[in-house]
Amino acid sequence: MARKSLAIACARGIKNTDHYRNKQQQIIELEHLICQQLGEPAGEQLCALLKHTSPRIYKDQLRGLKSLLERYAMPPALLAQLCDRAQLSTTQIRDYLLAYQAHPERWQVPPQSPVPSHLPSDQALTPYAALTPSTEIEHDACH
């Protein structure tokens, strides 16, 4: 029975509907969903990084990122660090999210110690000039 229906389908011609889909529309929708979840500038930047790193599988990368964002919360500190990368894939984002969940304290940015306000910025290291190693080497210490 199955052979008969297959023969009838072949006689009529099978139409591959994949050719008629607007694939660019799917990409636009995925980008829009990601930008909604992450915020406009960060979402656009992550999408651009994914596209730059993997242009041939960009749609798959977007689907993967959408799936990750549905499962995990994206911390702002991690998002900022991901946006600063030169290349990025969904697998790397997943690894970073899992590492963040395991040790969120490692992602805290330590406070920077400011340059003393009483010194101009070009003289801030002047007190350390005396700490340079001595250029005199005792001859006996080498032998």
Over 16-84, what HEC string results? CHHHHCCHHHHHHHHHHHHHHHHCHHHHHHHHHHHHHHCHHHHHHHHHHHHHHHHHCCCCHHHHHHHHC
CA separation for the pair 41, 7 (Å, rounded): 54
65/109: higher pLDDT: 65
pTM: 0.61
pLDDT of residue 143 exceeding 70, the answer is no
- Read off the pLDDT of each residue in 57-79 and give the average, rounded to a whole number: 94
> Domain ranges in the chain?
24-105
The string of pLDDT tens digits covering residues 9-46 is 556 677 776 666 666 788 999 999 999 999 999 999 99
pLDDT tens digit string along 74-120?
999 899 999 999 999 999 999 999 999 898 887 665 555 555 555 55
Q: Helix, strand or coil for residue 87?
A: coil
φ and ψ of 136, to 5 deg: -85, 125
